[in-house]
């Protein structure tokens, strides 16, 4: 089981150096997308939006199935392991956790208090 660390990352199962879930662009996109939706999101909807976003930012051409598989097998479980994402009872839909919503609220407050750069 992964453990949440004080630095905002998580310890890998194999005891390797800390990895930070939020340094992964796809994890960040998935979390942002889930935060912006009130109802639990099916993986296929999330995969569709992630695929469209990826096509605007890089040349890597993944298929819908590859994106969906990576979300289901890697990114969503990583976010879930650190308490930022929750799944429905049947495991087909995901939602941002209370912790993720609190995290997002804190970031917005900090950004509001930071003066804009000129």
Write 80-87 long-range contacts (CB < 8 A, 24+). Answer: 81/1, 81/2, 81/10, 82/2, 82/4, 82/9, 82/10, 82/21, 83/4, 84/21, 84/31, 85/30, 85/31, 85/34
pLDDT value at 53 more than 60 = yes
Residue 1, in any domain of the structure: no
CA dihedral sign of residues 78, 81, 85, 90: positive
As for how many domains the chain has, the answer is 1
Residue 86, in any domain of the structure: yes
Segments forming the whole domain that contains residue 20: 16-105
- Quick: pLDDT tens for 9-39: 444 444 332 356 778 889 989 999 999 998 9
Q: What is the pTM of this model?
A: 0.73
Residue 113, in any domain of the structure: no
Q: What is the CATH number of the domain that holds 24?
A: 1.10.10.10
Residue 71, in any domain of the structure: yes
3-state secondary structure of 58: coil
């Amino acid at each position: 089981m992964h453990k949440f660390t004080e630095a905002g990352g998580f310890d890998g199962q194999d005891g390797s150096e800390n990895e930070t879930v939020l340094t992964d662009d796809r994890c960040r996109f998935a979390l942002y997308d889930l935060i912006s939706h009130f109802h639990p999101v099916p993986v296929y909807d999330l995969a569709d939006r992630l695929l469209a976003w990826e096509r605007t930012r890089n040349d890597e051409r993944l298929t819908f199935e590859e994106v969906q598989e990576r979300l289901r097998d890697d990114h969503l479980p990583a976010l879930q392991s650190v308490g930022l994402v929750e799944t429905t009872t049947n495991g087909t839909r995901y939602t941002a956790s209370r912790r993720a919503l609190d995290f997002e609220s804190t970031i917005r407050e900090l950004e509001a208090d930071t003066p804009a750069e000129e």
